[in-house]
Amino acid sequence: MQQDSWAPLFNGETTSGWHSYGQPAAGAAWEVRAGALYLNTDAKAKGATGGDLVSAGVYGDFHLRLEWKIAPGGNSGLLFYVQEEPEKYTQSWQSGPEIQLLDNALHADAMIPNRRAGDLYDLLACTEETVKPAGAWNELELICDAGKVQVIQNGVQTLTAQLWNDAWQELIQQSKFKDFPDFGTYKSGRIALQDHGDEVWFRHIFIQEL
């Protein structure tokens, strides 16, 4: 793929192109520092709003790449096919599946097999763990093409899944999402960067529509 076939979702300077879920703009706790989107939890503690950041654009088949890092003990996520309908879904995760972003060494979720970094959260565990320690940058690629999901973390394909078939529905019925009948059924939606209350950074965010 040629570099010019990728569209930037983050300009490295402002939160332009992103807004907090259900809000017109990004919450003030989302800052840009050293070319990265950063969730400032100290600012949140002082009353600044955060919330999951969602993309201005809606995407169907796409190839997304970004870099992320998490604070020690931290938890975040990359969500896709999010439906921004706050009156119907109070949280972004109620409609869009999530790739878990986690400090596997210190966060309690790491004790659960399908809630570790790189997992399709509460649905499917990655086949190989390539995540770097808290505070180190990870390269992540997410490919969604005709219902086939691929996750590549730090250069290694770590997960594949097929959406919308019977096996996918069975995974949902065995998960925390079973009470949300529309979860995982959508074929397009927004990209979301999760505010789970912990410091997290994102940079070099690019997308290619397929």
Q: The CATH number of the domain where 49 resides is what?
A: 2.60.120.560
Q: What is the pLDDT of residue 199?
A: 98
Look at the alpha carbons of 24, 29, 33, 38 in this order and tell me if their dihedral is positive or negative. Answer: negative
Q: How many other C-beta atoms lie within 10 A of the C-beta of residue 135?
A: 13
Q: How confident is the model at residue 1 (pLDDT cuts 50, 70, 90)?
A: very low
Q: Does an H or E element contain 75, and which?
A: strand 75-82
Query: How big is the chain by its Cα radius of gyration, in Å?
Result: 16
State how many domains the chain has.
1
Angle at 206 between CA 38 and CA 20, to 5 degrees: 45
Q: Is pLDDT of 64 > 50?
A: yes
Q: Return the pLDDT at 4.
A: 64
Q: How far apart are the first and last CA of the chain?
A: 11
Residue 66, strand partner residues = 140
Q: Which domain holds residue 21?
A: 3-209
pLDDT in tens, 140-199: 999 999 999 999 999 999 999 999 999 999 999 999 999 999 999 999 999 999 999 999
Q: What share of the chain is helix, strand, coil (3-state, %, to 5)?
A: 10, 35, 50
Q: Flag the least confident range among 2-11, 74-83, 185-194.
A: 2-11
pLDDT, tens digit, for every residue of 32-51?
Answer: 999 999 999 999 999 999 99
- The average pLDDT across 103-127 equals 97
Query: What is the C-alpha separation between 60 and 210, in angstroms, rounded?
Result: 8
pLDDT top residue among 2 and 30: 30
Mean of pLDDT over the chain: 97
Closest CA to 89 of 204, 190, 182: 182
